[in-house]
Structure 1
Amino acid sequence: MIRTFAELDLDPTLLTALEEMGFDRPTQVQAEAIPQALEGKDILASAPTGTGKTAAFAIPAIQYLEDFPRKKAGPARVLILTPTRELAMQVAEQARQLAKHTHLKVITITGGVQYQEHADDLAATQDIVVATPGRLMEYIEAERFDCRAIEWLILDEADRMLDMGFGPVVDRLSGECRWRKQTLLFSATLEGRGVEGFTADLLKDPAEIEAKSSLRERKKITQWYHRADTAEHKLQLLKHIITNDAERTIIFLKTRERLADLRAQLESAQIPCAWIQGEMPQDRRNNAISRFRDGTVNVLLATDVAARGIDLPDVSHVINYDMPRTADVYLHRIGRTARAGKKGNAISLIEAHDQPMIERVARYTKEAIKERFVEGMRPTHKKAVFKKKKKDTAKGKKPASKAKSSKKKSAKKK
């Protein structure tokens, strides 16, 4: 396993930029993806937010452009597709930081930008273009963007592009970039629709990489939970944490309905908050994120779908107001805090029915998640104990004695 960026045989300009950005050791996805990409292989990577995936494709792309400099001015050679405008901006910003000691030009093509601004950028030489699929397709159809020079095609958050209905557009873009040498696809998960929604010929014999949030990163996050007797008790605990302990907090909820309810409750308690949820107009979403970013509000409510792909600096607390459906999603959520070497906190507020999930998360992460108490708000109920599921027992619904009753009796009842 590669331990330092120096071992990757990178250009000195890149190593200097990495040092200035405070990157000392590659993350798992970087250590696995960068060498294979530089060897000319296609990449199929599962990488949750917080695993350093942007640098995992931006570093080899910049190195490639430095190894094979262009002979004359012309259009972009690397195309990075992202599902949303804010993610495109983040990716472009990181690519610019990495390329700051080179002569490479990075531009973005997204919605919400004046046509003339893009036209001016496209008329000049560019090296890396970061784009959203829909807007880029408009420029291709207007013959304003030439894909024939693209040598690397990179798809970031591919599964989210499918969720947003960009599958057919991405397949068309893949066809437009058919002269490319390499394709790199990054997705939060490789299961289900993660990749299968794209055409089979998108990748050629790719190197498969599966990155989990590193234990080293997670150790910077202090995790604990509070038990709540009722929904009202849970709300009181949340208000206490927000007003007394937390500085900048993201609160996760399961559904848009649950988010709307909590938003109303916090507003009536005079706790200002911003919120993002699925199927939200882009301008309202951008407004909510920028209000949280600039500190106008310090509480952001989010559903899992909406929060994918946004990188928010200086988040001190992640609060699971609703527990997620899987341990994997729990890791995605808590990865929002403790970014860029900082420490963070992850708090779960759980009711009795959530107890099996918090235990499953602890087993999955191989870390103890301890219970804490707020004085004056201790739970009055005993901690729920759920027996490990056997095939013939329903999930905590039947007592063990009844579960052992003869199958014949239940068959007769039917």
Structure 2
Amino acid sequence: MYQQQQQIMFSDLGLQPIVLQAVQKYLTTNEDLIRPTEIQALSIPTLLSPQHRHVLCAAETGSGKTLAYLLPVIQQLMVDEQKHGIKRRLDHPRALILVPTRELVSQVVKTCKQLSHTVKFRSLGVERVQRSKVIPQLASGPVDILVTTPTAMQLLLKQQMVSLADTRYMVMDEADSLFDAGWGEDCRQLIDTIQTIHHDRPRKEKMMIVSATLPRSVHTTLDKLFPHLVKITTPSLHRALPNLKQSFIDLQRFQGNRQLALLEVLKKNIKDEKTLVFCNTKKAVELVHQWLETKNVQALPLYKDAPIDRDEALTRFADKTSGDNVMISTDIASRGIDTTFVDHVILYDFPTSVVDYLHRVGRTARAGTVGKASSLIGRKDRMMADRIRRSIREGTVMT
């Protein structure tokens, strides 16, 4: 359906002129060239519609999901003030965006701030709950959009630093991670709190669930939480990215030695500007990092409690002039971090699920760019790797 409407513009989606102006500035291009991505064209009108309270937006990585939910939220906050006379209050965010990592908090807030230059609203990201830092930020003016993790949000409520009494919009970004990685109960409690607040109000809450993958377990959870959930998914979901060249290297050639296989892949692709290597564990990242150093290959390690600060490591990796062109990471880098500059993803360890595979290889070939992914395949990895290769070859959904 979408492909028959390639001439769709942001101005066709029900966005107000000032929001369109913000998009134009954000995308830094001419108005007549701005085209919404598939998920944006499908989601924005639905999210703006008062008929649809609970909406799922699922699309492949790098497809523009952040703008797909942010633009409707910003417009509705604006309408609430202008049309319904909603007053902004200190410590009372009107929209809550939950994400699984600190890195994604800062990335979403960065997008909010760029849009807020045109549409005047205030966003705040809380990565860690430090009273000395958070209280002055909350006291300096009303917060329209609060971006944080479920754990930090629960702490903010427990310490009575914020109230959800005015929160009408809630977004759960990277929902597969939020519900599958231990935050499920925190998310349920927050959903329940907001729904209880709005139970007797004429204007109900609006929940937006956003994800790049939809494991069956998450599907089941969402169906229980939101029986009338409107589901928007792109045809590309769980399929191989069109601009991604994927190759699978059998470790038999290297007598099972992953380190030698990695070194050969790095040498063969020496012209790649930025390479992201994934390992399954923190210990593996440390070992690979140390081993590459003995081979005079400079690399940045990224994992929880790494010796280099995570923000500093990511900044250095993103800088084309830094000389830090290889990063070795756990799955901490597989979701929500801006990696449009990554040319090559190498799966040193093969992931344990198709969902993790899609997230990892989705760190390159994003937003219309081209990229490549190389997977090192040991004996225990072959069954899943063969299944993925078949899906790539046939263009079918990866299950």
Q: For residue 346 of structure 1, report the CA deviation from its aligned partner.
A: 2.6
Q: For residue 296 of structure 1, report the CA deviation from its aligned partner.
A: 5.7
Q: Which runs of 5+ in 2 are unaligned?
A: 199-203
Equivalent residue for 1:31? 41
* SS state at 2:317 partner: helix
Q: Conserved in 2, the CA contact under 8 Å of 1:171 and 1:199?
A: no
**Among 14, 18, 21, the residue aligned to 2:19:** 14
Which residue identity lines up with residue 66 of structure 2 in the other structure? T
Matched, 1:194 2:191: no
Matched, 1:122 2:138: yes
Q: Conserved in 2, the CA contact under 8 Å of 1:250 and 1:319?
A: yes
Q: Conserved in 2, the CA contact under 8 Å of 1:330 and 1:361?
A: no
**Among 203, 221, 224, the residue aligned to 2:244:** 221
Equivalent residue for 2:93? 76
CA distance in 1, matches of 2:221, 2:239: 33
Q: Conserved in 2, the CA contact under 8 Å of 1:156 and 1:186?
A: yes
**Among 52, 55, 73, the residue aligned to 1:61:** 73
Task: Name the CA shift for 1:118/1:19 in 2 (closer, same or farther; >3 Å).
Answer: same
Q: For residue 367 of structure 1, report the CA deviation from its aligned partner.
A: 6.9
CA distance in 2, matches of 1:36, 1:356: 40
Which residue identity lines up with residue 88 of structure 2 in the other structure? A
Equivalent residue for 2:201? none
Task: Name the CA shift for 1:116/1:354 in 2 (closer, same or farther; >3 Å).
Answer: closer
Q: What's the CA shift string for 1:76-126, capped at 9, x where partnerless? A: 2111111222111111111222343111111112206x4244223323122
Identity of aligned residues (%): 31
Q: Which runs of 5+ in 1 are unaligned?
A: 369-414
CA distance in 2, matches of 1:348, 1:257: 19
CA distance in 1, matches of 2:215, 2:394: 25
Which residue identity lines up with residue 231 of structure 2 in the other structure? E
Q: How many residue pairs end up in the alignment?
A: 364
CA distance in 2, matches of 1:98, 1:245: 36
* SS state at 2:165 partner: helix
Which residue identity lines up with residue 148 of structure 1 in the other structure? A
Q: For residue 149 of structure 1, report the CA deviation from its aligned partner.
A: 0.7
Equivalent residue for 2:64? 52
Q: TM-score, normalised by structure 2?
A: 0.78
Q: For residue 350 of structure 1, report the CA deviation from its aligned partner.
A: 4.6
Q: For residue 37 of structure 1, report the CA deviation from its aligned partner.
A: 1.2
* SS state at 1:68 partner: helix
Q: Conserved in 2, the CA contact under 8 Å of 1:266 and 1:272?
A: yes
Q: TM-score, normalised by structure 1?
A: 0.76
Which residue identity lines up with residue 187 of structure 1 in the other structure? S
**Among 272, 290, 301, the residue aligned to 1:246:** 272
Alignment of 1:306-345 (within 5 A): 307-325=334-352, 328-345=355-372
Q: Conserved in 2, the CA contact under 8 Å of 1:83 and 1:161?
A: yes
Rg: which structure is higher?
Answer: 1
Which residue identity lines up with residue 10 of structure 1 in the other structure? L
CA distance in 2, matches of 1:31, 1:346: 28
Q: Conserved in 1, the CA contact under 8 Å of 2:88 and 2:144?
A: no
Which residue identity lines up with residue 26 of structure 1 in the other structure? P
Task: Name the CA shift for 1:303/1:205 in 2 (closer, same or farther; >3 Å).
Answer: same
CA distance in 2, matches of 1:204, 1:353: 39
Q: Conserved in 2, the CA contact under 8 Å of 1:50 and 1:335?
A: yes
**Among 210, 214, 223, the residue aligned to 2:233:** 210
Task: Name the CA shift for 1:173/1:365 in 2 (closer, same or farther; >3 Å).
Answer: same
